[in-house]
Amino acid sequence: MRNAGPIRVVHIGLGPIGQGIVKEIASRPGVELVGAVDVDPTLAGRDAGEICGLAEPAGVTVVATLDEVEADADLACVTTSSSLAVVEPTLTACCSHGLAVVSTCEELSYPWRTAPAIAARMDEAARRAGVGIIATGVNPGFVMDLLPVVSTGICSRVDAIRVERYQDAGRRRLPFQKKVGAGLSRAEFEEKARAGEIRHVGLTESMHMIAARMGWDLEETSDEIEPACNRNEVRGVHQVGRAWCDGRMVIELVFHAELGLPDPADRVIVSGEPGFELLVPGGFHGDTATCAIAVNCMPLLRTARPGLRTMVDIDPVSCFR
Amino acid sequence: MRNAGPIRVVHIGLGPIGQGIVKEIASRPGVELVGAVDVDPTLAGRDAGEICGLAEPAGVTVVATLDEVEADADLACVTTSSSLAVVEPTLTACCSHGLAVVSTCEELSYPWRTAPAIAARMDEAARRAGVGIIATGVNPGFVMDLLPVVSTGICSRVDAIRVERYQDAGRRRLPFQKKVGAGLSRAEFEEKARAGEIRHVGLTESMHMIAARMGWDLEETSDEIEPACNRNEVRGVHQVGRAWCDGRMVIELVFHAELGLPDPADRVIVSGEPGFELLVPGGFHGDTATCAIAVNCMPLLRTARPGLRTMVDIDPVSCFR
């Protein structure tokens, strides 16, 4: 990456989050969109700004593959899939083009335990290219991992960490409401949950990220999902990740998203010395936050050690202009 | 610094915070006390563990200067003074011994604006020695700088940051109660405030640390102190730091410590997109927290870029064992 001037970004994947990130990039002087890639043939040849709802054209034509991007670039922002196996070839291509990577792929946020072979390959490819790769988002990437981890910086001892996100799904975009199962019958919910269609991805990755920094050698993790119901109508999802170390539950992550939930809040509870509770009334707004944190990570890759990084082994993220 | 094995620490300065840190080191397998230095002639020749109230001797004899320490070491922990000018020669000596440094010197937490010449000298000495230097503490170092900075990681835009610490001084150690002026008359308070004896050091450093990461070029900062009174009796201190950028107040830090204050709390309020409030009911406990965060920073110096680092340009701190 160049050390001066705006960071030149190729965006790969123009779904809802990708579009939000392109808008975010357009609003910031420190970053510049120089390329846009999407496999959807209906997007190829169109201006990225038009697709993303910008007031003015971005001056960047969408192409189908990274090889077709002609502009010099510093970094690729990859928002194509939650699946690590799906994004791996894209990340490999970015490294071979010498591009640093920011991605919102949830499974990439801490793959060292869940997909160690892919993690090692990505790390090696990034080191060889002398670039950093990082996955981020509001969750995984912030509320349930970076924020609790940093909060323990003032602790002499940590016994357990619990994070709760109680969200009113009605305040989020429609695809999110569908993703959490709002409006389904209980039977439909259970069918979709079994098929993995309404699972929130990332609780396990967040738990491994926390454990790595706490020095906890986890012997077991679980990730369980059930509907949040009003009679037979599903209003949303209640999903809980739990992790055990030395026979004790040391991490519990509660992801609850429900239409019309009163008093939504994010909450980090650390048991230890000293113990404390950190409360965010109303909660962090997920849609805005994921797009913002992806862009906020970009300058961190200028000074990051090459390789596959995580939100807890890179400089602390912050907003920048 | 060695990359494996416990971090071998020389502790310099055995005042109350230094003693707390030595106890903290003794409780953790990842760090090991190998030397102890204090200029007080009544301490020289005594066991560091005995001085610090450990149940067992530390096996480390206190000496008067760093040169007298014979053991191989990786890192020095410096808790001798709040004044950067006072600690500078000690830091220089540490660098020339090849030791990384963690310090609780408040003025070292972000000296690039307040003491740029010393900052540049320390940075140069540390780079030449290939080590990192960092200053930390609960405040400055965490509640009023690192925590709000990291929290803005989910923001698309930040307009202003306000941090409040409302503390019950009655829950803190006696020197802290005296430091905040509890029990003085208003006249005595004002005399001591003028003499700088009851000033909390670090609000200005925290503001510059925040501003550096937000990209705010501050045109003015202020740091004002007044007594928190019950009739004529001073119960504590109310100190406010403020900073302006482009004619707008962008940072406000409120440090309030008062005997018997009901509902103490720490609070971070970010105005921006999205805005949010982060609340810690009861507040982080300052005495424990400062000792803990100093030790928690030690492993970060293994992978830190050499030079004078700050809490916002080093890997995120966390508790470790």
Burial of A234 (0-12, 13-18, 19+ CB in 10 A): buried
Q: Is the pLDDT of residue B99 over 90?
A: yes
CB-based contact (8 Å) between B314 and chain A?
Answer: yes
Between CA A208 and CA A187 the distance in angstroms is 32
Looking at chain A, the number of H-run helices and the number of E-run strands are: 10, 13
Cβ-nearest to A154 among B278, B292, B316: B292
Q: Which residue of B has its CA nearest to A151?
A: B318
Q: Collapsing DSSP states into helix, strand and coil, what is residue B309? A: coil
Judge contact between B16 and B173, C-beta under 8 A: yes
Spell out which residues of chain B touch residue A315, defining contact as CB-CB under 8 Å. 312-315
| Section B114-121 average pLDDT | 98
DSSP string, A4-55: SSPEEEEEE--SHHHHHHHHHHHT-TTEEEEEEE-S-TTTTTSBHHHHTT-S
Q: Which residue of A has its CA nearest to B209?
A: A318
Spell out which residues of chain A touch residue B303, defining contact as CB-CB under 8 Å. 305, 313
pLDDT, mean over chain A: 96
Q: Is the pLDDT of residue A176 over 90?
A: no
The HSE-up count of residue A318 (CA atoms within 13 Å, CB side) is 27
Flag if A147 and B152 touch (Cβ within 8 Å): no
Q: What is the 3-state secondary structure of B125-172? A: HHHHHCCEEEECCCCCCCCCCHHHHHHHHHCCEEEEEEEEEEEEHHHC
Closest chain B C-alpha to A257 CA, distance in angstroms? 19
Interface test with chain B among A154, A206, A298, A300, by most B beta carbons within 10 Å: A154
The Cα-based distances of A220 to A140, A148, A245, A273, B262 in angstroms read: 19, 20, 7, 25, 42
What's the ipTM? 0.96
Angle of helix A116-129 versus helix A84-96 axis, rounded to 10? 10
B179-208 residue pLDDT tens: 889 889 999 999 999 998 888 999 999 999
Closest chain A C-alpha to B24 CA, distance in angstroms? 7
Bridge partners of B227, per DSSP, are B237
Flag if B281 and A279 touch (Cβ within 8 Å): yes
Flag if A147 and B150 touch (Cβ within 8 Å): yes
Bridge partners of B252, per DSSP, are B162, B242
The winner for highest mean pLDDT among A60-74, A277-291, B179-193 is: A60-74
**CA max distance for chain A:** 58
DSSP classification of residue B272: E
Spell out which residues of chain B touch residue A147, defining contact as CB-CB under 8 Å. 150-151
Confidence of residue B102 (pLDDT cuts 50, 70, 90): very high
Lowest-confidence region among A1-5, A95-99, B294-298 = A1-5
Instruction: Give me the percent of chain A exceeding a pLDDT of 70.
Output: 100
| Section A198-203 average pLDDT | 92
- Homologous superfamily of B7-137+288-308: NAD(P)-binding Rossmann-like Domain (3.40.50.720)
Judged by phi (left if over 0) then psi (alpha if -120 to 50, else beta), residue A39 lies in alpha
- Placement of tokens 């990051």 in the chain: A304
B163-178 residue pLDDT tens: 999 999 988 888 788 8
CB-based contact (8 Å) between A306 and chain B?
Answer: no
Residue A3 is predicted with a pLDDT of 85
Confidence of residue A237 (pLDDT cuts 50, 70, 90): very high
Q: Which of residues 27-66 of B touch A (CB under 8 A)?
A: 27, 30
Q: Collapsing DSSP states into helix, strand and coil, what is residue B87? A: helix
Spell out which residues of chain A touch residue B276, defining contact as CB-CB under 8 Å. 280, 282, 284
CB-based contact (8 Å) between A275 and chain B?
Answer: no
Q: Is the pLDDT of residue B219 over 90?
A: yes
Q: Where in chain B is the domain with CATH 3.40.50.720?
A: 7-137+288-308
Confidence of residue A161 (pLDDT cuts 50, 70, 90): very high
Q: Buried b / exposed e across A250-264, counting CB within 10 Å, b at 16+?
A: bbbbbbbbbbebeeb
Q: What share of chain A is helix, strand, coil (3-state, %, to 5)?
A: 30, 30, 40
Spell out which residues of chain B touch residue A137, defining contact as CB-CB under 8 Å. none
**CA max distance for chain B:** 58
Judge contact between A137 and A293, C-beta under 8 A: yes
Sign of the Cα pseudo-torsion (B176, B178, B183, B187, in order): negative
Find the Cα–Cα–Cα–Cα dihedral A146, B123, B125, B91, rounded to 10°: -70
Q: Where in chain A is the domain with CATH 3.30.360?
A: 146-284
Q: Which of residues 215-274 of B touch A (CB under 8 A)?
A: 215, 272-274
Beta sheet of B75-78, edge-to-edge order: B62-63, B31-37, B7-12, B75-78, B100-103, B132-135, B307-308
CB-based contact (8 Å) between A157 and chain B?
Answer: yes
**Strands B233-245 and A233-245, bridge-based pairing:** unpaired
Spell out which residues of chain B touch residue A24, defining contact as CB-CB under 8 Å. 156
Judge contact between B293 and B270, C-beta under 8 A: no
Note the CATH number of domain A146-284.
Answer: 3.30.360
Flag if A151 and B153 touch (Cβ within 8 Å): no
Q: What is the 3-state secondary structure of A134-201? A: EECCCCCCCCCCHHHHHHHHHCCEEEEEEEEEEEEHHHCCHHHHHHCCCCCEHHHHHHHHHCCCCCCC
Between CA A13 and CA A200 the distance in angstroms is 20
Flag if B157 and A319 touch (Cβ within 8 Å): yes
Tell me how far the alpha carbon of residue B265 is from its chain's centroid: 19
Flag if A278 and B282 touch (Cβ within 8 Å): no
Flag if A153 and B312 touch (Cβ within 8 Å): no
Judge contact between A293 and A91, C-beta under 8 A: no
**Strands B265-273 and B157-168, bridge-based pairing:** antiparallel
Flag if A214 and B158 touch (Cβ within 8 Å): no
Spell out which residues of chain A touch residue B284, defining contact as CB-CB under 8 Å. 154, 274, 276
Residue B24 is predicted with a pLDDT of 97
Bridge partners of B222, per DSSP, are B242
Flag if B274 and A281 touch (Cβ within 8 Å): no
Flag if A296 and B155 touch (Cβ within 8 Å): yes
Between CA B202 and CA B144 the distance in angstroms is 9
Q: Which residue of B has its CA nearest to A157?
A: B319
Confidence of residue B210 (pLDDT cuts 50, 70, 90): very high
Between CA A174 and CA A14 the distance in angstroms is 17
Flag if A155 and B296 touch (Cβ within 8 Å): yes
The Cα-based distances of A2 to A5, A6, A299, A301, B220 in angstroms read: 7, 9, 10, 10, 32
Flag if B285 and A274 touch (Cβ within 8 Å): yes
A26-49 residue pLDDT tens: 999 999 999 999 999 999 999 999
